[in-house]
Amino acid sequence: MTELSLPAKTYLLACDVGEAKLRDRARAGLLIRGAALTDLVLRGRVTDADGRVAVSGDGPTGDLVLDELLAEIGRESPRKWKGWVRKDARGTLEALESQLDTAGVIDLKTARILGLFPSRRPVVRDPAVVERLRASVDQALRGPAPASDVDTVDAALTALVAAVELRGVVSGRDRRRYRDRIEELGERGGDAVPALRKLFR
């Protein structure tokens, strides 16, 4: 894996590197699912058709997680963005973790709590990657450049993590203070960002 996908970037931002854990798996699953849809929008592989997700273009993206989601959208009846963000978020999260583990981005430690409940703990191999992602979000949110000049992927990444108030990256206070800028950044990421925002309101 040379270039990290948008869902991979959101996953790494959701990791607590020091504690080797993923903060709030349910929230992270929805974030990653929203990021996967947004990545497909940015690649021109899905579009909005009267408020519903529609496949556009042919062939694979080259990313297994994105290709699975694209195939799923193609074979099911049309569904609204919010429905696609929510549908099988856990499955997408687990598929992404396996992909990142195989690619050597994380070491995924699995165990059982009290011998019963499965636990997955990601150890990020290169914490500097997470710091660079945080810096990109910080620059997109607080930097001097107009929102329209921010890199499209960085704009989408910032809008996604702001939509779920990802702790340690974009706080509720930041979300209120930079509300207008976050809206502008989110407009460049397609319809999955507002759908994700609605789920967390």
pLDDT confidence of residue 68? 96
> 157 and 186 in contact (C-beta within 8 Å)?
no
- Give me the count of residues in the chain: 201
> 15 and 124 in contact (C-beta within 8 Å)?
yes
Give the contacts of 177 (CB within 8 A, at least 6 positions apart). none
pLDDT confidence of residue 130? 96
Report DSSP state, residue 193. Answer: H
pLDDT confidence of residue 190? 81
pLDDT confidence of residue 201? 63
Among the listed residues 3, 129, 151, 122, the one whose alpha carbon sits nearest the alpha carbon of residue 63: 3
Give phi and psi for 119, each to the nearest 5: -130, 135
pLDDT confidence of residue 100? 97
Which DSSP string corresponds to 107-166? EEEEEEETTTEEEEEEEES-HHHHHHHHHHHHHHHHSSS-GGGS-HHHHHHHHHHHHTT-
Which tokens belong to 6?
């948008």
Give exposure, 43-57, as e/b (b: 16+ Cβ within 10 Å): bebbeeeeebbebee
- What are the structural domain ranges in the chain? 6-199
pLDDT confidence of residue 113? 67
Architecture field, domain 6-199? Orthogonal Bundle (1.10)
pLDDT by residue for the chain (201 residues), tens only, comes to 568 999 999 999 999 999 889 988 999 999 999 999 999 999 999 999 999 999 998 889 999 999 999 999 999 988 999 999 999 999 999 999 999 999 999 999 887 766 677 778 899 999 999 999 999 999 999 999 999 999 999 999 999 999 998 888 998 888 899 999 999 999 988 888 888 888 776
Among the listed residues 88, 94, 105, the one whose alpha carbon sits nearest the alpha carbon of residue 34: 88
